[in-house]
Amino acid sequence: MKDMVECRARLAGIFNITVTPFLADGAIDKAGLARSVERVIGLGYDGILIGGTYGEFPAMSPDERAELFRTVMDVVGDRVPVMLCSAASDARTARELTQLAGDLGGLPMVTPPYVSEVTDGQITAFFKDMAPLSKTGILIYNAPGIGITLTPELIEQLAGIPGVVGIKQGELAVTAIDKIANRLGGRIKLFCASDLAFLGPMMAGFDGISSTNSCALPEVILATYRALEAGDANTARELHKSWYAFRELARRHGQPQMVKAAMNLRGFDGGKVRLPLRDLDAVATAEVASMMQALAADPHTGVTLKA
């Protein structure tokens, strides 16, 4: 993407949150990552997200993250929009990665600074500093899981910053979604950050979703989104219900380790997680395998397992 105008025009639909596959020695499996990216592009996903929270960015050095950005953009080119997570606890790192992401033609995804007792005024000043660094603008990531939750009122203020093209909303309380959809719809692009419960935000008027579980279940999650996009809420609901058991295990075992285990069972390039996360043990992996076999037995899901 060459600028903010193009970015705004293309920023919609279902984005795959691509996990970062690590080898046994801890190195990034670049070949496996490329295969994962090609898989979801080939299936028809509207975009991808690289190096986010489920991409394990806190476990990578700034240099590794920069190399991850370059590697993926070389693979993708300009075929689909790419969100590149430039979040960091050190504002200097966030600045460097935000500028690099924009220079590469991606859209930097920036969280608020996750330090103790940061004020709304300091958060606003931070995003005002970040937005001009990228020719494609920035996507604000409201990520409660890393310690700070932006209120709808603060998000509305941030939406007025030149260069803010969208919000990836991870706080999915009904009131927050209602306020954001109705106050900001049409002003900036609105993305639901979770595929666990995206039907509501999309019905409220959000522009798209991002999905980590689609790394393991790309067919059924894409079909769910396309059904909803086409106005077929009944089909979308039934497809979403079909992988409820997967979501239950994901909540129990944690992400991205659960997704990677399921990917590996399918012969996909899930790889390993990095410390402080741990790969699933044999008992948990067997539980995932049993659940995946049940999914594969359902002809509506399109899920297959490796021989």
Taking alpha carbons only, the member of 75, 64, 63 closest to residue 33 is 75
CB burial class (10 A; 0-12, 13-18, 19+) of residue 248?
A: exposed
Taking alpha carbons only, the member of 302, 213, 297 closest to residue 258 is 213
User: DSSP string covering 29-44, please?
Assistant: -HHHHHHHHHHHHHHT
Please indicate, yes or no, if residue 69 is contained in any of the structural domains: yes
Tell how far CA 299 is from the center of its chain: 27
Structure tokens at 167: 């919000």
Q: Let me know: does 207 contact 199? Beta carbons within 8 Å.
A: no
Work out how many domains the chain is built from and give that number: 1
Please indicate, yes or no, if residue 62 is contained in any of the structural domains: yes
- Digit-by-digit pLDDT tens for the chain (307 residues) are 999 999 999 999 999 999 999 999 999 999 999 999 999 999 999 999 999 999 999 999 999 999 999 999 999 999 999 999 999 989 999 999 999 999 999 999 999 988 888 899 999 999 999 999 999 999 999 988 887 899 999 999 999 999 999 999 999 999 999 999 999 999 999 999 989 888 899 999 999 999 999 999 999 999 999 999 999 999 999 999 999 999 999 999 999 999 999 999 999 999 999 999 999 999 999 999 999 999 999 888 888 888 6
141 classed as catalytic: yes
Q: 3-state DSSP call for residue 18?
A: strand
225 classed as catalytic: no
Taking alpha carbons only, the member of 84, 82, 68, 34 closest to residue 268 is 34
pTM for the whole structure: 0.96
Q: 3-state DSSP call for residue 293?
A: helix
Q: Give the Cα separation of 205 and 125 in Å (integer).
A: 29
Q: Give the Cα separation of 52 and 256 in Å (integer).
A: 11
The CATH number that applies at residue 191 is 3.20.20.70
Q: DSSP assignment, residue 214?
A: G
The one catalytic residue among 141, 189, 225, 260: 141
Please indicate, yes or no, if residue 114 is contained in any of the structural domains: yes
To which H or E segment does residue 4 belong? helix 4-10
Please indicate, yes or no, if residue 97 is contained in any of the structural domains: yes
Please indicate, yes or no, if residue 250 is contained in any of the structural domains: no
The one catalytic residue among 54, 168, 225, 260: 168
CA trace torsion 156, 160, 162, 165 (10° rounding)? 40
What residue numbers bound the domain in which 227 lies? 4-232
Please indicate, yes or no, if residue 269 is contained in any of the structural domains: no
Q: Give the Cα separation of 273 and 277 in Å (integer).
A: 6
